[in-house]
């Protein structure tokens, strides 16, 4: 996009857009009143993936929800407008999901930060925080800890916005116990695609509430969320245990997630090579004395690590060390490969920032991230693991492969998030995150293209053969999105026509095109 905006008043801008031929999508001038649209920035056209770079025509840095409502109601009122709008949280998507080519990016972090805690501890009521959607989870954590409280469900990395993760699901090692972050929201304030300002919950405007949670930014822009809080522990016992056998690893993971009264967090990862053992240990403050034999290039040996945690609630009748000992007796990890450390709750939740610092130092943070996350039915997890070994080569894989179980009954089927369709008897499903990095120094455009093609093929095979579903994923066309949603497509499309009837929101996902302009 070569055109540079020099104006700040949007009606002047629209006049320019109307006159300038590249902006054919705007057919008539619109009056946005006192809104300030700004010229595009590098940030607004990139994300963590560093794969897709779409330049918007302008950026809105809203100072209030009214700014967002004004923008969307003005666009929605003009049936001829083709301008699209994307909310951008922290821009940690992989495939341009928060971008809007030739449209308007709304930078949610500029909304004034509001965090109101309602502490109901001891009153037999639920404590919660009302928080503006552009807040980062790390800010939510710091504020709630001042009151001895914290949200129940997290993501591994906390420099993500509340609105961004609630538009996907928000999962981590607590999901087995409390469900994803979208299951831990009491109420939302949303500006719909029509610019209407709506408060919604399970009992009030519930259709919008369910649509927006996991809704990939398609139905409205979340401006505020009411997040459930609980009493925060002070300390956490953080444990890592190693396995040389996949079946024992998953059996023990399933054992741990079946003990929600004692266990507070469960994840796991694949140990492919020295690099993966070392990089996954950066945040873990214990000394890992595991020196595995990785075999040869022809006959590689891989290992697995379970990571789990037990919170110290400082209750007199609970001795955390005893709880951990009890649990460990029931596990079948490799002899002597059980490591335990005690850390503060804050450091535990913020553990990925240690990895970020280390990767930044090595120049490996701002690189391509062709990440792939999939939900895999339990019935297909062994086949998935085998397919994965055909897809990656252990000796040169750069990154981390996360594998951990989730419980289906912690997810609300009314919400928009898509899960594998499996028999009702399958209690568990797995999330597998293939979090690969590719440095531009060693992987050029052609190499990245090949990597993504290969990944696409792998994901499609896993969907077709095993019934796996992508999480945080990108689909190559609206047709593929339909396949992704399968039975849920009609509901998703109906909700779109209800809450964003002019198809203004979320163009970066590539799910919908406005049928009015489909053939032109
Ligand atoms: P963005 O990338 O800015 O936006 C994501 C989508 O949400 C876009 O479609 C955007 O339009 C929409 N959106 C943003 N804000 C709003 C809003 N206020 N209202 C409506 N729509 C909105 N995810 C997990 O679940 N668990 C993890 O453990 C985890 N770890 C991660 C670690 C790292 C290092 C990274 C980079 C990502 C991780 N993620 C994880 C993925 C992350 O949850 C998603 O990429 C999420 O979208 C990032 O939030 P964001 O604020 O950057 O959103």
Per-residue pLDDT of the chain (520 residues; tens, 9 = 90+): 323 333 333 443 453 344 333 443 443 445 566 788 999 989 999 999 999 999 999 999 999 999 999 999 999 998 778 899 999 999 999 999 999 999 999 999 999 999 999 999 888 899 999 999 999 999 999 999 999 999 999 999 999 999 999 999 999 999 999 999 999 999 999 999 999 999 999 999 999 999 999 999 999 999 999 999 999 999 999 999 999 999 999 999 999 999 999 999 999 999 998 888 877 777 888 888 899 999 988 888 999 999 999 998 766 677 899 999 999 999 999 999 999 999 999 999 999 999 999 999 999 999 999 999 999 999 999 999 999 999 988 878 889 999 999 999 999 999 999 999 876 568 899 999 999 999 999 899 999 999 999 999 999 999 999 999 999 999 999 999 999 999 999 999 999 999 999 999 999 999 998 877 766 5
CA distances from residue 422 to 383, 401, 426, 427, 451 in whole angstroms, order as listed: 15, 24, 7, 9, 30
Which atom of ligand 1 approaches the CA of 505 most closely? 11
Question: Helix H segments across 213-313?
Answer: 246-257, 274-279
Contact by Cβ (8 Å): 138, 159: yes
Contact 225, 162 (CB under 8 A): yes
Output the pLDDT for position 281.
74
**DSSP of 263-274, one letter per residue?**
--EEEEEEE-SH
Give the residue numbers annotated as catalytic, written as ranges.
Answer: 92, 156, 267
For residue 413, how many other CB atoms are within 10 A of its CB?
9
pLDDT score of 21: 35
Model pLDDT, residue 4: 31
Task: Give the C-alpha separation, 39 to 86, whole Å.
Answer: 15
Closest ligand 1 atom to the C-alpha of 471? Answer: 25
At 23 the pLDDT is 41
Distance of CA 96 from the midpoint of ligand 1 (Å): 11
| Ligand 1 environment, Cβ below 6 A | 47-48, 86-93, 97-98, 108, 133, 155-157, 160-161, 163-165, 167-172, 216-217, 221-222, 472, 506, 508-509
Q: Which of 59, 71, 89, 371 to mutate to test the pocket of ligand 1 (most atoms within 8 A of CB)?
A: 89
Where does 362-415 have alpha helices with state H? Answer: 381-391
- Could you say which DSSP state residue 113 is in? P
Find the 92 Cα to ligand 1 centroid distance in Å: 5
Q: Ligand 1, atom 31: nearest CA belongs to which residue?
A: 157
Pairing of strands 104-107, 85-88: parallel
Atom of ligand 1 at shortest distance to CA of 352?
Answer: 34
Task: Kindly give the distance from the C-alpha atom of residue 106 to the centroid of ligand 1, in angstroms, as a whole number.
Answer: 14
d(CA 503, CA 480): 18
Tell me if 141 sits within 8 A of 350, measured CB to CB.
yes
- For residues 163 and 175, give the distance between their C-alpha atoms in angstroms, rounded to a whole number: 18
**All residues at 6 or more sequence positions from 518 whose CB lies less than 8 Å from its CB, including other chains:** none
Q: Which residue shows structure tokens 């609206």?
A: 478
* pTM, rounded to two decimals: 0.94
CB 237 within 8 A of CB 348: no
């Amino acid at each position: 996009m070569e055109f540079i905006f020099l104006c700040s008043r949007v009606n002047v801008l629209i006049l320019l857009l109307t006159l300038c031929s590249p902006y054919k999508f705007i057919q008539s001038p619109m009056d946005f009143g006192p809104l300030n649209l700004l010229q595009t920035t590098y940030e607004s056209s990139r994300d963590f993936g560093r794969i897709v770079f779409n330049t918007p025509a302008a950026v809105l840095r809203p100072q209030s929800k009214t700014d967002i409502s004004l923008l969307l109601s003005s666009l929605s009122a003009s049936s001829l407008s083709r301008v699209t709008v994307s909310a951008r949280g922290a821009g940690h998507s992989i495939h341009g999901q928060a971008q809007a080519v030739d449209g308007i990016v709304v930078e949610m972090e500029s909304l004034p930060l509001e965090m109101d805690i309602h502490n109901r501890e001891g009153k037999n009521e639920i404590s919660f925080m009302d928080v503006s959607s552009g807040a980062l989870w790390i800010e939510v954590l710091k504020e709630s800890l001042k009151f001895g409280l914290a949200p129940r469900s997290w993501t591994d990395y906390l420099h993500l916005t509340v609105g961004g993760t609630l538009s996907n699901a928000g999962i981590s090692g607590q999901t087995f116990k409390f469900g994803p972050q979208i299951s831990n929201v009491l109420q939302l304030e949303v500006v719909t695609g029509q610019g209407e300002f709506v408060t919604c919950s399970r009992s009030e405007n519930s259709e919008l509430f369910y649509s927006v949670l996991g809704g990939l930014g398609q139905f409205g822009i979340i401006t505020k969320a009411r997040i459930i809080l609980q009493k925060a522990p002070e300390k956490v016992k953080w444990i890592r245990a190693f396995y040389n056998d996949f079946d024992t690893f998953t059996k023990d993971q399933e054992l741990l997630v079946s003990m929600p009264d004692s266990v507070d967090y469960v994840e796991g990862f694949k140990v492919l090579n020295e690099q993966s053992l070392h990089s996954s240990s950066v945040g873990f403050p214990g000394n890992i004395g595991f020196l595995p034999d990785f075999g040869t290039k022809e006959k590689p040996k891989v290992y697995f690590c379970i990571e789990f945690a037990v919170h110290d609630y400082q209750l007199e009748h609970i001795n955390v060390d005893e709880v951990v000992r009890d649990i460990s007796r029931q596990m079948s990890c490799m002899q002597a490969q059980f490591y335990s450390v005690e850390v503060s709750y804050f450091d535990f939740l913020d553990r990925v920032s240690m990895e970020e610092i280390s990767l930044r130092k090595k120049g490996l943070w701002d690189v391509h991230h062709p990440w792939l996350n999939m939900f895999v039915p339990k019935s297909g997890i062994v086949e998935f693991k085998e397919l994965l070994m055909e897809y990656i080569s252990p000796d040169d894989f750069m990154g981390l492969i996360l594998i951990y179980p989730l419980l289906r009954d912690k997810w609300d089927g009314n919400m928009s998030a898509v899960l594998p369709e499996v028999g009702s008897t399958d209690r568990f499903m797995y999330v597998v995150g293939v979090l690969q990095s590719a440095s531009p120094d060693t992987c050029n455009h052609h190499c990245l293209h090949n990597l993504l093609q290969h990944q696409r093929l792998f994901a499609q095979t896993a969907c077709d053969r095993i019934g796996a579903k992508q999480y945080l994923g990108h689909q190559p066309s609206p047709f593929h999105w339909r396949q992704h949603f399968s039975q849920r497509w009609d509901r998703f499309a109906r909700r779109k026509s209800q809450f964003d009837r002019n198809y203004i929101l979320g163009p970066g996902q590539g799910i919908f095109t406005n049928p009015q302009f489909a053939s032109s």
